[in-house]
Structures are given as C-alpha cells and as structure tokens.
C-alpha cells in the first residue's frame, strides 16, 4: 500500500491522520467546528491529493450517528473511485480502548461525552457533570481523554488528553477490521446494520 489515511467526523471535532508512504512520518489535521464537520472533512480530504493505492481507516462508533454515516460513505466512495486500489478498515471505540488498556472519553456534542470502557467491554454516554464524577472515582492512569477539551482539573486531577481519534486509528493497526461492502455495522448506542441495496 502506498498511503494510509484515517479520518473521523463523528465526535466534537474533525480529525484526519495520514502517511503518504509506509516510510513517511504521520501527519495530522484536527479542526474544531460548530458548523458542519462533514464539510470540513471533505474539504481537507480534497486537498490531500494522495496518490496510488492505499488503506482507509474509520471509526465504527459509538459516536455521532450522522458523522459515522458520513465517515462510511466517504470511505466507500474513495474505494469505489480508486477502482478497488484502496482497502477500507473500521475500528470500534471499544476495541480502541482495549488496545490502549484505558477508559477513553470522547466529546460528542457540547455537553455529551462517550466513555468507552475496555474493562467491562461496554460504552455509555455521559453529561459533562457525570464525567467529573467518573474521573474522581477512577485511577488517573486508567483514563485518556481524546481531544475532549476537558481542561478542568477534577479534584486536582486533570484528565489528560492524547491524540485525536484519527491519529490513534492510524497507530493501532492491530485493531483494523476490513469493511465488507455488503454489510457494515455502525454503533450509536444500539447497533444499526446497513446492507447494500440491490437494484432490480
């Protein structure tokens, strides 16, 4: 594969991470937007001009349902446009949290957060005041906030932020699962299956 590209617009921000070749160092673009993150994502991807064959990695949720559908549509669109020179992979945030071995907080909306718990193999949606309670009751070494702008220190214990979702997806290749065009499952609280619509 020539390039690797990971992207996401299913959280409070849009993130893109990529390598132009296997030997090249990764680059990342992260943008906050109170408007349409899908438009931001398309604009950034149009300007990358990645050449040749490659691999595209997206999160499969949980997250903003609209953002997850946009991720999937763009990934499969790139695959189709490149005449199958591109392989598509997906990663659930639970699998990402398992690979990190930590609870992962992701900001979804202005007041909604997602907690992916690798220890119970589950996730839950929380309001910002609930995040504070969870942080106070947790071992600070078992928590990561992914660009969730929780800059406040809870009881003197700041929630550390790490890389964006796209950067983590690019790094954690062991979590990648190839996306089947015939059936893809996105997760937004409940699993929702998308099947290919067959024309008559």
What are the pLDDT digits (tens) for 151-177?
444 445 555 556 788 988 998 898 999
pLDDT at 52 (0 to 100): 85
* Burial (0-12, 13-18, 19+ Cβ within 10 Å), 162: middle
Q: How many domains are there within the chain?
A: 2
- Is residue 79 domain-shared with residue 40, that is, in the same domain? yes
The residue with greater pLDDT, 169 or 31, is: 169
Check which CATH number belongs to the domain holding 41 and give it. 3.30.420.40
Query: 3-state class of 4 per DSSP?
Result: strand
pLDDT at 22 (0 to 100): 86
Whole-model pTM over 0.75: yes
Helices (H), the chain: 37-48, 65-81, 93-100, 128-136, 165-171
- Is residue 118 domain-shared with residue 67, that is, in the same domain? no
Alpha-carbon torsion angle 181, 39, 104, 131, nearest 10: -130
CA gyration radius, the chain: 17
Residue 187 is part of which domain span?
3-93+164-195
What's the mean per-residue pLDDT of the chain? 79
- Is residue 152 domain-shared with residue 54, that is, in the same domain? no
Residue 101 has pLDDT above 50, yes or no: yes
- Is residue 10 domain-shared with residue 87, that is, in the same domain? yes
What are the pLDDT digits (tens) for 39-80?
888 888 888 888 889 999 999 888 888 888 889 989 988 888
Q: What is the C-alpha separation between 117 and 58, in angstroms, rounded?
A: 19
């Amino acid at each position: 594969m020539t390039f690797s590209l990971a992207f996401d617009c299913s959280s409070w921000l849009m993130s893109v991470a990529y390598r132009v070749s296997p030997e090249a160092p990764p680059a990342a673009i992260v943008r906050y937007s109170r408007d349409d993150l899908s438009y931001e994502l398309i604009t950034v991807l149009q300007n990358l001009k990645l050449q040749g064959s490659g691999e595209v990695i997206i999160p499969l949720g949980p997250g903003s349902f609209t953002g997850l559908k946009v991720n999937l549509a763009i990934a499969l669109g790139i695959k189709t446009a490149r005449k199958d020179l591109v392989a598509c992979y997906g990663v659930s945030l639970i699998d990402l949290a398992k690979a990190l071995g930590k609870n992962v907080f992701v900001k979804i909306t202005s007041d909604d957060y997602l907690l992916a718990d690798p220890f119970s193999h589950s996730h839950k949606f929380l309001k910002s005041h609930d995040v504070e309670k969870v942080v106070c009751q947790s071992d600070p070494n078992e928590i990561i906030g992914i660009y969730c702008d929780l800059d406040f220190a809870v009881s003197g214990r700041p929630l550390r932020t790490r890389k964006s979702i796209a950067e983590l997806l690019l790094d954690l290749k062991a979590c990648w699962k190839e996306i089947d065009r015939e059936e893809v499952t996105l997760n937004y609280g409940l699993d929702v299956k998308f099947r290919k619509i067959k024309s008559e």
